[in-house]
Structure 1
Amino acid sequence: MNIPNINWVDYSFNCQKGKLLLDFMFQTNSTQHVTEFTRLSSTLDLIFSSPSNLLSNVKITENFSNSDHNMITFNINSSIPFNRHKKKVYKRQLTENNFSILNEKYANYKWTDELSFYFSVNSKYNAFTDTMLYFFDSAMPLKPLNNIIKENYPKRITELSRNKLKLFKESKKDPNNNEIQLKYKIISRQLRKITRDYYTEKDKRIVSKGRSSVYKYFKNKLKPVIQVPTLFDKNGEICLSDKAKSNAMGITFQKAFNKKNSELVIGSNFTKSADKIEDIQFNILDIFKLLRKLPNKNSTSPDSIPYILLKKCAFTLSHIITELFRLILDEGEIPEIWKHSIVIPIFKKGDKTITDNYRPIALTCTLCRTFERLLVNKLIEFLRNKDFFSIEQFGFLKQRSTVTQLLTMLNQIYSCVDRGNKVDIVYIDFKKAFDTVPIELLIQKVKHIGIDGKILKFLINFLNNRKFKVRIEQDFSEEYPIHSGVPQGSVLGPLLFVIFINDLPEHLPKGVNIKIYADDIKLYVEHNNDNNRNKLKESLVITEKWAKNNGLGISIDKCICLYIGKNNDKQQYFIDGQPIKKENCVRDLGILIDTDLSFSAHITKITKQAYSMIYQIFRIFKSKDLDNLVFVFKTYLRPLLEYATEIWSPSRKDHLISLEKIQKIFTKRAFKQCGKEEYLPIFA
């Protein structure tokens, strides 16, 4: 295809043909896989696919015969059928009537008297959860659910469908029978109408339940049939069964943890606090309110207690939960199950058969998370009152967010550029930061800032001797120990990491700016000579030393330099003697920031994603009700376009046209699907 002026890496173009081809690709949810030159210095030979993962290992090779174009080789990905015994999935009938029966059972049970027969925290907790689940099972027993659930159409649709098929077969036998042909047309028309009405009503029910229902519906429709395909373990052996896959994942995830290192000590400049918090009070009303705010989720938990059970039974359970929480903090002992987590592997990018291309999502006990939430609220209140949190940290704190951080940084950068100066930014990536925090050093820091007594004893117990299992489908891996890090999937984890990293900005020289969002760090300086750039180099050495002293590693290959301002000579920066790679565009908290601050790459990216989502909406959502489609657009697609618009709000005409075109295309397709093309607005 003779359109050489498209950059297939960032989708930039400088001709009308290129724009038309990119629009076609975006609107058909296709991906173009060739990014290298195929003839001299031009990319003329293209390969499109939908979905994007249909092809892999695309390579440009030598010319074929006397052709002046290079050959392109690629693999077509296809799943290999693997017959396996699928374990039954069980589900409860979670109705309001059943919860009323369950609450009556809980209200009549003498919890305090029965638990008095047990003496340790662990035995009391186990007795409590066992009793909870016993009544839960009796009120709402688990019933097997077929994994392959066919659409349960109304009786009238199935009857018409059968009659239509019968008439179709008859018409094939006697194609000249006009009576059969007429009956077939009438039934086909009736079936189309009644099926359309059925889908409209179904979509109305989904929309009427709100945004979360729409998200859940699309998530289920887009979810792959096989969550984790065939894998290769560390020895190159093929893992076919879910058990083998989960063990391969477990070995990979465990590699992220560091062995215990008791030699690390807190820095001498880490100020010890005179103020202390040693205990918190548990109030039945506070716990009741917290339980009522829990999500309506029936998700997996190590102790099998779902959120929805705690929420629906908050009134009858809050008193005994309050007693248990009080006992746990007083004793400094936590239930053993609270140290366990279930890990779900989530694919990131790359080859799906490689375990390193998955990240772990941990599920912890729901009651533990409830306890943590109460504790976190009190700890944050204590730390805020003493102005502990660095003003440069924007993660996991109220009134701070990704947008406020980017606004703060870009406001400084725009001011620098207006003064005719340049800005150098270095993005630093800590290697598995949350998983590698040394527990002993974290405890030292926690104690130094005034967290002591019963709370400190709880935290020591909470952080040590943790374990995890990987779950794939219905199978679990072996159990693996956790040697370091803040607990993934916990409520306390993010706060503990913020405490751990909070002292980093204090080490940097004046004139060097730092912005932190959890473990995402960037250092930047304004400069028109080498003085401030030397300070940035010094800051990189300090940051490297801080990381080493605090047991963290830096992924140098993931660190990036971004240079802003006219005539910026892009000086090279180093970490541990290795050069940091230079880029013209960087993904920063979900926004693509380029050197000229035009946000062209970001607008191109979200435009492509929006076209893909439009394709998904009309493939999945069959409603012919315009209001339903508009609601889906506002719920599912518009958040993508509106995220952080304060940062990248378009000013260029071509950007505005690109963004407005998304709504025009959606409007056109919506009116067409609803059969209202004659009412289509003129702009669409």
Structure 2
Amino acid sequence: MINNKLISNYQHGFMPNRCTTTQLIYTMEKWYKSLLEKSNTDVIYIDYKKAFDSVPIDFLLNKLYSYGIRGKIHRWIKNFLKDRTFKVKIGNDYSDEHSISSGVPQGTVIGPLLFIIYINDVVTRIGQNVSIAMFADDIKLTFSFRNESECHALQNAVNNLVDWNTIWGLNVSLDKTVIFHIGNKNPKFNYYVNNNELPKADIVKDLGVITNNKLTFEEHINHVRNISMLRSVQLLRNIKSTNPKIWGNYFKMYVLPLLEYASPVWNPSLKKSIK
């Protein structure tokens, strides 16, 4: 699938040479361009209810077949997915055994790949004027506009996505799906999923990066600084060694990843943020 470029270019999850940072850079570039052009941008973060666990197995197998995954590989995947069972252990006691009728197994090597194959064709339902970016089951819809009359395009994209979900057995979590308005003169339109008005947010946590609607990242920088300082203090209290090499190793393991995560996206440019 990957070698034959059958996976959508908008998918950044579980793909070679792609990660959360590449997805964030892709969307941030569009948002900054919109601000420079004095346009408004509306973003809708789509959150699914138990996405990996909800995939209908027969639907997935049909999709795999349509992508040319057939024969022994298809039979192996079918055997891997079907007739799975589970039971719960509490202390030394076990519950009755129950069958699993849907979902791709999480924590497996092939599970995430099967999921992104399943969700792959959702991009065909969005429309040309609305941008989509995905990281596994996290979906962002972005639409930039100058005229208020254009905003129906984003609502149409949401409606089409909901229709796709209905066909393929996935459900949107209304509590976690939010609207993010960017632009000083943004009219802040309402958007709906099945006639339910979606909540709005001025600050969002986007793949681990806290973003405000001015795209300044002040909240994220403060968060990273505070948690890095806290972790550094914890190291000072608990590590008794005076060996600089040991200190350096602990810093690289426990503090540096916090400072470096997605830093190309939020790297501070304002003097007050650098301080």
Normalising by the smaller structure, the TM-score range is over 0.9
2:188 corresponds to which residue? 570
Amino acid at match of 1:647: V
CA distance in 2 between counterparts of 1:387 and 1:558 reads 31
1:555 corresponds to which residue? 173
Aligned residue for 2:24, secondary structure, equals helix
1:545 corresponds to which residue? 163
Contact 1:511 1:532 in 2 (8 A): no
**1:403-422 alignment, distance < 5 Å:** 403-422=21-40
CA distance in 2 between counterparts of 1:459 and 1:645 reads 38
Q: CA deviation at 1:565?
A: 1.2
Aligned residue for 2:15, secondary structure, equals coil
1:494 corresponds to which residue? 112
1:536 corresponds to which residue? 154
**1:162-561 alignment, distance < 5 Å:** 383-470=1-88, 475=92, 477-478=94-95, 479-561=97-179
Amino acid at match of 1:635: M
Q: CA deviation at 1:455?
A: 1.1
- Aligned residues between the structures: 274
- Map Cα deviations across residues 567-600 of structure 1 (whole Å, 9 max, x no partner): 1121111111111111011111110111000101
- Map Cα deviations across residues 383-432 of structure 1 (whole Å, 9 max, x no partner): 23432010111110101111111111111111111011011000011100
CA distance in 2 between counterparts of 1:475 and 1:392 reads 47
Q: Which runs of 5+ in 1 are unaligned?
A: 1-382, 658-684
1:601 corresponds to which residue? 219
Aligned residue for 1:639, secondary structure, equals helix
Amino acid at match of 2:181: Y
CA distance in 2 between counterparts of 1:643 and 1:529 reads 37
CA distance in 2 between counterparts of 1:640 and 1:476 reads 41
Q: CA deviation at 1:606?
A: 1.4
Aligned residue for 1:488, secondary structure, equals coil
Q: CA deviation at 1:550?
A: 0.6
2:252 corresponds to which residue? 634
Q: CA deviation at 1:651?
A: 1.2
Amino acid at match of 1:642: E
2:203 corresponds to which residue? 585
CA distance in 2 between counterparts of 1:516 and 1:505 reads 9
CA distance in 1 between counterparts of 2:127 and 2:244 reads 58
CA RMSD of superposed structures (Å) = 1.5
Q: CA deviation at 1:470?
A: 4.5
1:623–1:554 distance in 2 versus 1, CA, 3 Å: same
Contact 1:433 1:519 in 2 (8 A): yes
1:644 to 259, 262, 268: 262
Q: CA deviation at 1:461?
A: 1.2
Q: Which has the larger radius of gyration?
A: 1
CA distance in 1 between counterparts of 2:240 and 2:127 reads 59
Runs of 4+, deviation exceeding 3 Å: 469-472, 474-477
Aligned residue for 1:546, secondary structure, equals helix
Amino acid at match of 2:263: T
CA distance in 1 between counterparts of 2:87 and 2:270 reads 51
Q: CA deviation at 1:652?
A: 1.7
Amino acid at match of 1:459: I
Contact 1:512 1:532 in 2 (8 A): no
Amino acid at match of 1:578: N
CA distance in 2 between counterparts of 1:499 and 1:464 reads 18
TM-score normalized by structure 1? 0.39
CA distance in 1 between counterparts of 2:89 and 2:211 reads 37
1:533–1:476 distance in 2 versus 1, CA, 3 Å: farther
Q: CA deviation at 1:526?
A: 0.7
1:470–1:653 distance in 2 versus 1, CA, 3 Å: farther
Contact 1:469 1:476 in 2 (8 A): no
Q: CA deviation at 1:483?
A: 1.5
Aligned residue for 2:47, secondary structure, equals strand
1:431–1:619 distance in 2 versus 1, CA, 3 Å: same
Aligned residue for 1:426, secondary structure, equals strand
CA distance in 1 between counterparts of 2:89 and 2:152 reads 49
1:617 corresponds to which residue? 235
Aligned residue for 2:255, secondary structure, equals helix
CA distance in 1 between counterparts of 2:69 and 2:263 reads 39
- Map Cα deviations across residues 454-491 of structure 1 (whole Å, 9 max, x no partner): 1111111111111234467x756434321110012211
Q: CA deviation at 1:507?
A: 1.2
Amino acid at match of 2:164: W
Amino acid at match of 1:489: G
- Map Cα deviations across residues 176-215 of structure 1 (whole Å, 9 max, x no partner): xxxxxxxxxxxxxxxxxxxxxxxxxxxxxxxxxxxxxxxx
Looking at both structures, which has the greater relative contact order when contacts are Cα pairs under 8 Å and sequence separation is at least 6? 2
1:40 corresponds to which residue? none
CA distance in 2 between counterparts of 1:628 and 1:456 reads 50
Q: CA deviation at 1:531?
A: 4.0
Amino acid at match of 1:652: L
Q: CA deviation at 1:625?
A: 2.0
Q: CA deviation at 1:502?
A: 0.3
Aligned residue for 2:48, secondary structure, equals strand
Q: Which runs of 5+ in 2 are unaligned?
A: none
- Map Cα deviations across residues 630-658 of structure 1 (whole Å, 9 max, x no partner): 2211221011011111000001222212x
Contact 1:560 1:583 in 2 (8 A): yes
